[in-house]
Structure 1
């Protein structure tokens, strides 16, 4: 009996392999920069925390500023070529940074070193704003069917979680034993591996008439068209609202869980890392199970059920007073939360027609990122100021500021599950709409018109979809 060497299909397996290697490289790269800035460049300096936070700010700026406009170009360009170019660009950028770091540390002022690092991180993440929507569009072409798309999303999430389990432990030895340059070079080589994997994928490229249609429209009109389409889709708006609400639960945990560990679970701060490990393992299990759950219950039912279950578990976690109970509940909480994220992926793919996929993700990614940032800031502000003196007991249960924030976030997630129950249309309807779009596109591509007629028809079709 031959071993199964493919995941879903051959081309998806190649795409997954390239991204798996690249994800490990990204984890090593990000961890290496944080360690180098904190322990070498800004060692014993009072401004070290600010310097490290600048790395996160640079990556977030690319998502929030470049992301919304990148989708317009992704919808215009050949998706496979876009991914290939971004991988070459990122490999070259890391190679330049590697060459710069060959200079002695005192060759440049600390401010110049930080400027070089921040600029590199900004440009790498800018390229990612083109790569990610292009990959989303390619994934829709490579994987068909709700269950397989959920499996692909689950495999992708599990791979990302695993990369962040493998990457950081590799970063420290590479940095302190081999040197900064080797850690950076490792990341650059992973982009090359990703390039080779993507190049081996057989993807149908758009016809000449489709590219001509895209070129004759301006950047701003196409961007506005994308916003109109998104705002006019009840399905997409509902998915975005659910994702934003879900971020409040995760944001509260990422900001306050360390304080919950010491104050509520009465555990030593050194045990905090085990809670993160529990979430990582739960995320991997939930991602791998997500495809099967969607196959059994459907993506729509898995979405609202995942919200309800994870919200209830977050409320239960907020009432824990022992480390072991908290560890188990946090693991269990992460499983349905990840299944929820996996279930939403095929719904999003089904709701986004091929000509709008780049712009749909250019709205979805930045808004989700902004919600994550705001939820972290809001939860910290609530626990540190508005609810700082909140406390007491009710019915024999004691309450404090951090567990109140967790409980409120859990209740909000439960309400989001109720909203999803009624707001999300049946996934079969979304699939039918997507299938109709695909058939329409294939019919247009197969008909024998002149190039000028193709451009005119494509332009009218775009206008009809926006106004409709």
Structure 2
């Protein structure tokens, strides 16, 4: 990001689009060869504010997610009702993800990001109020979760598509690694802090902290200049959504990156089997389930913290496929660890680390290879993939486990992921040759 932007939202001419990555990037320091590259945070005040705001609000949102689950279960004493919380956010994420991305390619992305963040803050304030008033209606919580999904899907494509306009292209891999750290800080720290606060002061405490945390994101967005898309993407609504899908269909490298991610989530994500594996594999309890759920996030955080090498890799397509293969093999190995919990947790952490590597390179490809007027729509499609892929993975792993055993489901899913990626590599050899110094979508 460039520094010294005006402190208000006054209109400004959009900066020139980033140039392709060149080998003239500054030589890394010895520490940056291993640790995450902090250059985007040091050199770009706008990015620094956005990163901090997103980190704080991500922790707050995860605290809220824990509080909603606890509150729903307390009201219903039903695991089904608690599980339905995820479904309440899925439809808004898919619908508004597509249209939010289309809108982000036609309006000032800064304003759209402000609307999304402010909307989320209002929903958190409503959740705080209902908890303080002793709400006894689970429908209120379901409605709030649905609104959260909608506002997130509206604001997220706008925020993500602004990053290439603010960070020089040679810093995008480092910026995406830092974004991954931010996300996984929320996934690991948020639930822990939420549990402590809820246990001590009730759900309203977690909701209140989440509400206040959004001030950092809103402030960061407010400090940005106007962020109108390049080009003349004047069409809105359904046509713009279809334009994004057509663009993705016609760009084989970007399409292959999406398909590789889907292969990992559909075949290699045995999340729905963790309760059965905790009891049958490791003879554990709910705490064992918690460890299994947390292990990939811990691995992802470690991978992002030690991502200094990523900026020196230019063959992003090959890196994506290698990372997804490592994910699949780790999951298949996890299926063979019956009775050895710590080995299983270690392999899940390796899988999470591999997923971080894949995500960093896929995001960089999407940001650099796609034209600015399409980035919002691609980010919207990305939200749909991220929201829908794990649900399809839950269905796939659960179905195979019911027909065979959980062990067979995990092992076969990991190997199927590897097979799918190898098939993609065979069908699209140009993806293996994708070079970030000469990006082509």
Is 1:280 the equivalent of 2:297? yes
Distance 1:343 1:5 in 2: 16
Distance 1:315 1:243 in 2: 17
Distance 2:282 2:201 in 1: 39
Distance 2:116 2:190 in 1: 22
Give the CA deviation at 1:218.
4.7
TM-score (norm 1): 0.78
Which residue pairs with 2:400 in the alignment?
Answer: 382
Give the CA deviation at 1:268.
5.5
Which residue pairs with 2:21 in the alignment?
Answer: none
Gapped regions of structure 2 (runs ≥ 5): 1-37
Distance 2:356 2:336 in 1: 22
Distance 2:147 2:420 in 1: 36
Which residue pairs with 1:439 in the alignment?
Answer: none
Give the CA deviation at 1:176.
3.9
Distance 1:268 1:87 in 2: 37
Q: Name which of structure 1's ranges 327-336 and 357-366 shifts more when overlaid on structure 2.
A: 327-336
Which residue pairs with 1:426 in the alignment?
Answer: 433
Gapped regions of structure 1 (runs ≥ 5): 388-400, 435-468
Which residue pairs with 1:356 in the alignment?
Answer: 374
Distance 1:359 1:413 in 2: 27
Cα distance 1:291–1:409, how it changes in 2: closer, same or farther (>3 A)? farther
Is 1:336 the equivalent of 2:354? yes
Give the CA deviation at 1:266.
4.8
Distance 1:420 1:7 in 2: 38
Which residue pairs with 2:188 in the alignment?
Answer: 165
CA contact (8 A) 1:308 1:417 kept: yes
Aligned residues: CA RMSD: 2.6
CA contact (8 A) 1:242 1:420 kept: yes
Distance 2:144 2:94 in 1: 17
Which residue pairs with 1:102 in the alignment?
Answer: 132
Which residue pairs with 1:52 in the alignment?
Answer: 82
Give the CA deviation at 1:12.
1.4
Within the candidate set 128, 142, 145, 1:118 is matched to 142
Which residue pairs with 2:24 in the alignment?
Answer: none
CA contact (8 A) 2:257 2:320 kept: no
Cα distance 1:261–1:183, how it changes in 2: closer, same or farther (>3 A)? closer
Is 1:407 the equivalent of 2:411? yes
Q: Name which of structure 1's ranges 13-22 and 168-177 shifts more when overlaid on structure 2.
A: 168-177
Cα distance 1:54–1:275, how it changes in 2: closer, same or farther (>3 A)? closer
Give the CA deviation at 1:37.
1.8
Is 1:196 the equivalent of 2:219? yes
Within the candidate set 30, 37, 57, 2:72 is matched to 37
TM-score (norm 2): 0.83
CA contact (8 A) 1:306 1:417 kept: no
Say which structure, 1 or 2, has more relative contact order (CA 8 Å, 6+ apart). 2
Within the candidate set 318, 323, 328, 2:341 is matched to 323
Distance 1:264 1:74 in 2: 46
CA contact (8 A) 1:256 1:380 kept: yes
Give the CA deviation at 1:183.
2.2
CA contact (8 A) 1:289 1:339 kept: no
Is 1:92 the equivalent of 2:122? yes
Which residue pairs with 2:167 in the alignment?
Answer: 143
Distance 2:407 2:341 in 1: 14
CA contact (8 A) 1:150 1:290 kept: no
Distance 2:233 2:408 in 1: 51
Say which SS state the counterpart of residue 300 (structure 1) adopts.
helix
- In terms of fraction of residues, the more helix-rich structure is 1
Is 1:303 the equivalent of 2:333? no
Which residue pairs with 2:58 in the alignment?
Answer: 23
